[in-house]
Chain A
Amino acid sequence: GNSVTQMEGPVTLSEEAFLTINCTYTATGYPSLFWYVQYPGEGLQLLLKATKADDKGSNKGFEATYRKETTSFHLEKGSVQVSDSAVYFCAHNTNAGKSTFGDGTTLTVKP
């Protein structure tokens, strides 16, 4: 079946630290992969996406590469800021908009 497994949180980092949030998936066919971010008290926002193998999605300093061989889509950022504190969701989409989400990872960045 379809599933998304995310690195368990919460994650606490100091400002300017390197961030990795692991994400692996199972899916039939060739899904598109997404990272969404949810800031405190706000709705879900698309952070980045990749639609085929070896694609790299990037936005606001965050990157993730679609690795078909390892069925992974790990989120990385070289230097986090306090303003990056949020909940991050990995997701995939295999059926015309129907998305499957990971459990979410709460990131707290301390100054």
Chain B
Amino acid sequence: SAVISQKPSRDICQRGTSLTIQCQVDSQVTMMFWYRQQPGQSLTLIATANQGSEATYESGFVIDKFPISRPNLTFSTLTVSNMSPEDSSIYLCSVGQGSTEAFFGQGTRLTVV
């Protein structure tokens, strides 16, 4: 199993500012994933973060808006840039072990005012 620590757990931010979310895993993993859960919605994959290469973004998400870092095999950050109220969501970090398991952090509840 994997234990994921994500912080901050919640934040209230002013529009136009940026927030960086950190994700720490207790074991080395090849791929880490970032999801967004908008209010009342399901989870949508933002991007896949591999160590040593640029993140791969899903359709509708771009690096300028959601830059991701992956400096080593246990850590990643997601930045939500130039925030607007539409960015208010829960952001979740996830890791997988093969195809049989996926583990999620507790999420970061972001409110943009």
Seen from chain A, the residues whose Cβ lies within 8 Å of a Cβ on chain B are 31-32, 34, 42-44, 46, 49, 51, 89, 91, 93-104
Q: In the assembled complex, how far is the CB of residue A45 from the closest CB belonging to chain B, in whole angstroms?
A: 8
Please indicate the chain B residues that have their CB under 8 angstroms from the CB of A99 in the complex: 33, 43, 45, 94, 96, 102
Q: Are A101 and B43 in contact (CB under 8 A)?
A: yes
**What would be 20 A-B contacts, judged by CB atoms less than 8 Å apart?**
A32-B101, A34-B102, A44-B107, A46-B102, A51-B99, A51-B100, A89-B43, A93-B96, A93-B99, A93-B100, A93-B102, A95-B99, A96-B98, A97-B29, A97-B31, A97-B33, A98-B31, A98-B48, A102-B42, A103-B42
B contacts with A, residue count (CB < 8 A): 25
A34 to B103, alpha carbons, bound, how many Å?
Answer: 11
Number of A-B contacts (CB under 8 A): 67
Seen from chain B, the residues whose Cβ lies within 8 Å of a Cβ on chain A are 29-31, 33, 41-45, 48, 92, 94-107
Please indicate the chain A residues that have their CB under 8 angstroms from the CB of B100 in the complex: 32, 49, 51, 93
A contacts with B: majority SS: strand
Q: Are A89 and B107 in contact (CB under 8 A)?
A: no
